[in-house]
């Protein structure tokens, strides 16, 4: 007999969780919003029941039946509504702050003007010309070109190149 009493006592103290909450809580914010939709639906059911039955409240069995029906048929609908509500909220938030975000981005990202780009190209061309002018004597010396002779008009082709061409052509004739 004491065994039966202790079991009854345990049953009375066990917390019974709503099965719909258990299914929705893992979905984070969307699940919590979906659970609110379920609770609104449950409250509407109870109010309608009371109105139709002259103030009589639904029995626990009738509420359990309603919950079971919601769980099997409407839980996905609550989730879709919650996702739609969250999307609408964030879209409205983005739309509201779009102009401010655009201004802030333009302030942070410097977009050069047309004339600024022109000046950049002029400076880059000038620096490139100076670099070539500084490197040209080294390039001419490495290629063994006698500029003074070329400018006097008595230029001879590079003998190294001429010898290489002659050697290659004699090898082809063999």
- Indicate whether 100 and 118 sit together in one domain: no
Same domain, 31 and 50: yes
Q: Which residue has the higher pLDDT, 56 or 12?
A: 56
Query: What single DSSP character describes residue 156?
Result: -
Tokens of 12: 């009375």
pLDDT score of 97: 86
Q: Name the domain boundary from 90, 108, 126.
A: 108
Question: What are the tokens at 110?
Answer: 């410097």
Phi, psi values for residue 109, rounded to 5°:
-105, 110
pLDDT at 47 over 90: yes
Q: 112 pLDDT exceeds 80?
A: no
For the full predicted model, state whether its pTM sits above 0.75. Answer: no
Confidence of residue 57 (pLDDT cuts 50, 70, 90): very high
20-34, 87-101, 156-170: segment of lowest average pLDDT: 156-170
Residue 52 domain boundaries: 2-108
Residue 90 has pLDDT above 80, yes or no: yes
Q: Quote the number of domains for the chain.
A: 2
| Claim to verify: residue 62 and residue 132 sit in the same structural domain | no
């Amino acid at each position: 007999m004491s065994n039966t009493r202790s079991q009854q006592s345990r049953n009375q103290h066990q917390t019974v969780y709503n099965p719909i909450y258990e299914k929705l809580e893992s979905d984070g914010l969307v699940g919590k919003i979906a659970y609110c939709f379920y609770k609104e639906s449950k409250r509407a059911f109870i109010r309608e029941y009371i109105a139709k039955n002259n103030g009589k409240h639904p029995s626990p069995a009738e509420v359990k039946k309603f919950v079971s029906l919601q769980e099997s048929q409407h839980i996905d609908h609550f989730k879709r509504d919650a996702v739609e509500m969250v999307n609408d909220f964030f879209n409205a938030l983005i739309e509201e702050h779009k102009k401010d975000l655009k201004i802030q981005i333009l302030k942070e990202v410097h977009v050069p003007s047309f004339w600024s780009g022109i000046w950049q190209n002029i400076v880059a061309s000038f620096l490139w010309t100076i670099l070539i002018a500084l490197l040209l004597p080294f390039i001419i010396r490495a290629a063994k070109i006698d500029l003074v002779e070329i400018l006097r008009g008595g230029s001879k082709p590079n003998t190294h190149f001429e010898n290489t061409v002659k050697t290659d052509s004699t090898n082809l004739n063999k």
